[in-house]
Structure 1
Amino acid sequence: MNDYLFTNRMERILQIANQMSKEGIITSVDLFIAACREATGICSELYLYLYHQLGKDFDVKILNQWSRNAGADFNFIGHYKISMDAVLIFEESNKKRKNYGQMLINEGHMIQSILQSDAQLRFMLTEGVVDGIVNIACVPRDLFVNLDHFKKLYGNRISKHCMRRAAHSDLIELKSFVIHEFGERWLQHINAMTEKEVLPIYIAIYGEEIIGFACYDTVRNKKGLFGPMGTSHKKRGNAVGRDLLFKCLNEMAELGYEYAVIGEAGPIEFYEKACDAKLLQTC
């Protein structure tokens, strides 16, 4: 249980849930309402959505209607007492994290697991409201970066990794790296760049080996779109992705782009923290 790794936002959600919990035991409904009350990023958007859909004090009403089992069994995650229904939520959340190839359990993994598992909560919500929650919190989201603001904050930061622009001679090795680490889903974007004289692709190198890559202007051949980006599983947590991100965003700023759009980002909090990216609001 103690092996779970959480984003900072998830750590705050756990703290809020613990403060709300009855008998000091966190349940799935505590986690859901704590996510709404955390009030940053998608959690802020989620709260406003449910406020408009369900009305004022929706969080209190859900908590009051949800039936708790007094004296129920629990287990520990870290120093938190977690009810057995919530333990199953975290097990499922961790599976989703692994399926998406991510390092940390985030609020999207957890909320999707709650909606799939908590029959009481589902009974309180209409199908349309559930779909709205999923579209806000449980799917990849588009973000944008103000590049002038980015340059002022991060433009002089020095990378600790060896990075360079990819040459055409690197493409065979790069494609092999992408297939091995991420499957074939990103190959189409790299293949679309082969006719360009100067590739908008940067690679990170350790020894003679590619350990990460990042692109821009490759998705649908649209200007101003950052990505895809990926880091070798064995090098994650070493700021390789952040340095590749900075390299591309700095170059986009130098080319005169005012904004960069990060399309369908999975690790949303990573981009929010790394480059002050902001969510593009859903309709």
Structure 2
Amino acid sequence: MSAPLTEPPIRCAVVATSTGSLDELSDLDDLLYILRLNIHMNGLVYADGLDLHPEAFYQSQTEHPEGETRTSPPSEAAVRSLFRQIRNAGYREIIVTTLSGRISDTVNTVRKVAAETARDIQTYIVDTGTACIAEGHFALEAVKLLRQGFAAADVVEHLERLKPGAEIVFSVHSRAHLRRLPHLNTTEKFVAGLLDLKPVLRFYDGQFSRVDIGRKTENTLDALVESAAAALRQKPVRLYGLYGGNRALYENLAERLHRKTGIMPKAFPISPVIGAHIGPDAVGIARIDKPL
């Protein structure tokens, strides 16, 4: 990355999608805006993390595990409105960090609106290839570098270099949501549900893969911890914790991780849009490689 500018010639804002779990930060920078995805429940549409906070969403999921919930990207109108708000605030550039385009059409909606508004504001779009707080890390990194005086194009170049070092490992403890997971074939889903097995999954570069599978919750948590410990042994990494509606389960995971590595990562709730697909009892660890 080139040296920072002493006085950035163009003001630049950062837009993160709501799946990045950044609503939980009490000191959001005024450069940072949140683009909301949608939750559809009981005939109503909720803005992810705004109209429907994770705590309320997961309580509903626990009480009504068979309830029908679906999600959708932000509308083009919502993206246009947010871009207009940012332009009216005096910004002339936007860096947008989105959840993986392999699991959501959000990035394509943003690209369409960015092309329409190119005369008014220059938009840089980074498909992070990930989700949850791993995704949110990209937006936080962008804000940090802009505050240090780096040009938007250089910030985006840096974010692109971070993408190969971002991954999430997590476990799914809900049978109902296990059946919805796209990475397990029908036989695997049936056997796992029949035997009450709990898969440990990896989300990397927009794709799911199975890391391990265990009968007991303790086995599952230990597999998550070992995955994080292995990453730490290989290179310097930043770790984040993530949890759905079962904070006690996450605290169990965090304690095991601390005993193993001496690290107690900051924990972030999984947004309702992501939780709708993986269930109320999902817990995990996100890692981002630290630049050398």
More strand by share: 2
Which one scores higher on RCO, CA 8 angstroms, separation ≥ 6?
2
TM beyond 0.5:
no
TM-score (norm 2): 0.30
Higher gyration radius (CA): 1
TM-score (norm 1): 0.31
More helix by share: 1
